[in-house]
Amino acid sequence: METRVGVVGIIVENRANTASEVNQILTDYGFIVRGRMGIPNLTENVCAISLIVEGTNEDIGSMTGKLGRLSGVKVSSTFIKKESK
């Protein structure tokens, strides 16, 4: 099955209300996450998360779709096709 490598950017507004849901989705899809960095802005109640992911279109799309359906969560991503050896 073809895999892709990419970057997923996540902005979480009102993190107090959605952080647990975001973290649960990221835990559920931990098998495709290769790296994660989160930068909270506690005074604005906003968080930016960047992920490095590697997985199938289906797995990545499922994860980003679930995140994007959460109220106050914005998701953007970019990917490249992983070359077969």
Question: What's the first-to-final CA gap in the chain, in angstroms?
Answer: 13
Side-chain half-sphere of 55: how many Cα atoms within 13 Å?
20
Backbone dihedral region for residue 41 (phi beyond 0: left; psi -120 to 50: alpha; all else: beta): beta
- Total number of domains constituting the chain: 1
* Domain ranges, residue 70: 4-81
Give the CATH number, domain containing residue 10.
Answer: 3.30.70.1150
Name 39's Cβ contacts closer than 8 Å, sequence gap at least 6.
Answer: 47, 48, 49
> Rounded to two decimals, what is the model's pTM?
0.89
Mean pLDDT split into 10-residue runs, the chain, 85 residues = 92 90 97 96 89 95 97 94 67
Predicted pLDDT at 83: 67
Predicted pLDDT at 84: 64
Nearest alpha carbon to residue 55 among 22, 75, 38, 80: 80
